[in-house]
């Protein structure tokens, strides 16, 4: 199609030019079209043809008798003489320019991307009423009293039927329905605001019922994209290999591993990658910092990932197998570190962990445990509080909720959980100042006797 359009453009060139150079011009156009792919390069090729057409039309063209010039065996040159403007050629050039600019406008017009639903697993509570895609408008659910009531009723039903403690679930459901009856949700005008307000009410009610503030109970989720109706498809071998290649290309999410002045080890890790792929990379990173006198672990941009990798790194910080609390019932991550690790010398070195409000999930699992075990000093901001251990249930196309269907294991530590409130730092500073603060602490650390 593109070559046909270029050929049509060449037909507007003077007839004598086409008879003399038509075949060569078409071949040149085909060669450029083959090598110059992509929107920008194709647009440049069309522009070159249009400029040549306009210049030829403006000055006219006629094949001149070639003059042979020989200078010390130099090549021949055919001299093309130019003539005056032909009105019909000028009209053709103007028409071509208009068509090209119209084509460019359509070519570069923004289109709405296909909305791919997030891959969220669905729990066994899918019997809760769900809205139809054609009937549900995410913008109207907070303004239409009937749609809003239907949503809140479904949330209350989930709490009543699915929360692991049925008596508490009933009281949580009643608390949400009371807030609705009082009209507390009527002034909200977006789905995100409605979900956030219901979550605050659930958390307030749970604390009033004696559930520790950091323990996950339930979380209403609003998504602008349509939520999937079932679990994600299983990964194929090709998908696994592609994921493996991407992780290795990204150095298993290790952004920086270096030794700072004063022999302070520094490791910036932006996610906990799959341990089956990255175990050796993680081991090499820790080994490269083995001779440092202090260690800074930067998790300010760490959005979580696989608990196995977090457990592997924690293993270098202890001299014996150490329990790491995981709030997930039947967690696939081992309960204890693989300490001691042969040749490791970091077990008695000061450790500083940098956090921000973006630190979440598996990163919070790491931060919470090394803080509770008093093995590291946490520097920065309170973490996000995004470690949800429950099952997800779809309510309609744009609303769903996670809920704790199975009782979580009891934390042995005084601060019960972080899943909803995050982990507070030992040294509270802004995330931008956290590294400087940790370096200062490390540089002035007590010298062991």
- Tell me the per-residue pLDDT of 181-192, one tens digit each, with 9 for 90 and over: 999 999 988 999
pLDDT digits (tens, 9 = 90+) for 229-268: 888 788 888 998 998 999 999 999 999 999 999 999 999 9
Q: Which tokens hold the place of 259?
A: 């030794």
Residue 101's DSSP bridge partners are none
Kindly report the average pLDDT of the chain as a whole number: 80
* For residue 59, pLDDT beyond 60: no
pLDDT digits (tens, 9 = 90+) for 17-40: 666 666 666 666 666 666 666 666
Residue 256's DSSP bridge partners are 268
Whether the bond between 166 and the residue before it is cis, its omega within 30 degrees of 0, is no
Q: For the residues 151-178, what does the mean pLDDT come to?
A: 96
- 127 burial level (CB within 10 Å; 0-12, 13-18, 19+): exposed
Q: For the residues 89-96, what does the mean pLDDT come to?
A: 58
Contacts of 206 by beta carbon, 8 Å cutoff, 6+ apart: 168, 172, 215, 217
Instruction: Choose among 69, 443, 132: nearest CA to 261.
Output: 443
Instruction: Choose among 37, 46, 57: nearest CA to 101.
Output: 46
- Classify strands 399-403 and 218-222 as parallel, antiparallel or unpaired: antiparallel
Q: Which tokens hold the place of 326?
A: 């995981």
- For residue 264, the SS3 value is strand
- 416 burial level (CB within 10 Å; 0-12, 13-18, 19+): middle
Q: Which tokens hold the place of 347?
A: 């077990």
Q: Which residue blocks in 250-372 are alpha helix, DSSP H?
A: 275-288, 307-314, 362-372
> Which segments of 197-260 are extended strands (E)?
218-222, 254-260
Domains with residue ranges and CATH for the chain: 2-71+79-107 (no CATH), 129-249 (no CATH), 251-385+421-443 (3.90.226.10)
pLDDT digits (tens, 9 = 90+) for 388-414: 777 899 999 999 999 999 998 888 998
């Amino acid at each position: 199609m593109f070559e046909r359009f270029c050929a049509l453009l060449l037909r507007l060139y003077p007839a004598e030019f086409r008879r003399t150079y038509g075949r060569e011009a078409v071949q040149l156009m085909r060669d450029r079209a083959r090598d110059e792919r992509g929107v920008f390069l194709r647009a440049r090729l069309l522009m070159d043809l249009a400029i040549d057409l306009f210049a030829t039309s403006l000055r006219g063209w006629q094949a001149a008798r070639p003059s042979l010039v020989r200078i010390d065996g130099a090549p021949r040159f055919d001299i093309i003489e130019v003539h005056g403007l032909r009105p019909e050629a000028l009209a053709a050039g103007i028409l071509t320019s208009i068509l090209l600019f119209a084509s460019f406008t359509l070519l570069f017009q923004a289109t709405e991307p296909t909305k791919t639903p997030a891959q969220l697993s669905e729990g066994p509570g899918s019997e809760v009423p769900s809205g139809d895609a054609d009937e549900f408008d995410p913008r109207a659910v907070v303004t239409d009293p009937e749609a809003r009531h239907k949503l809140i009723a479904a949330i209350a039903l989930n709490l009543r039927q699915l929360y692991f403690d049925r008596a508490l679930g009933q009281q949580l459901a009643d608390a949400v329905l009371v807030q609705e009856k009082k009209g507390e949700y009527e002034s909200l005008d977006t789905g995100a605001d409605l979900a956030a307000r219901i979550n605050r009410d659930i958390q307030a009610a749970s604390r009033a019922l004696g559930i520790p503030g950091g323990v996950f109970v339930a979380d209403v989720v609003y998504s602008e994209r349509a939520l999937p109706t079932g679990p994600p498809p299983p990964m194929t071998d090709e998908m696994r290999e592609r994921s493996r290649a991407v992780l290795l290309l990204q150095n298993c999410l290790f952004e920086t591993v270096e030794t700072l002045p004063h022999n302070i080890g520094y490791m910036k890790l932006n996610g906990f990658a799959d341990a089956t792929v990255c175990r050796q990379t993680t081991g090499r990173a820790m080994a490269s910092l083995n001779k440092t006198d202090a260690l800074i672990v930067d998790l300010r941009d760490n959005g979580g990932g696989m608990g196995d990798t977090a457990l592997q790194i924690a293993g270098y910080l202890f001299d014996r197998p150490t329990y790491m609390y995981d709030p997930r019932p039947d967690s696939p991550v081992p309960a204890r570190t693989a300490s001691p690790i042969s040749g490791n010398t970091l077990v008695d070195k000061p450790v500083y962990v940098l956090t921000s409000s973006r630190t979440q999930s598996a990163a919070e699992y790491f931060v919470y445990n090394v803080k509770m075990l008093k093995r590291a000093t946490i520097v920065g901001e309170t973490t996000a509080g995004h470690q949800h251990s429950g099952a997800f249930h779809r309510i309609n196309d744009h609303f769903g909720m996670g809920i704790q269907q199975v009782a979580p294991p009891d934390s042995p530590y005084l601060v019960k959980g972080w899943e909803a409130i995050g982990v507070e730092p030992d040294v509270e500073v802004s995330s931008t100042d956290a590294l400087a603060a940790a370096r200062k602490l490390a540089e002035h650390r007590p010298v062991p006797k």
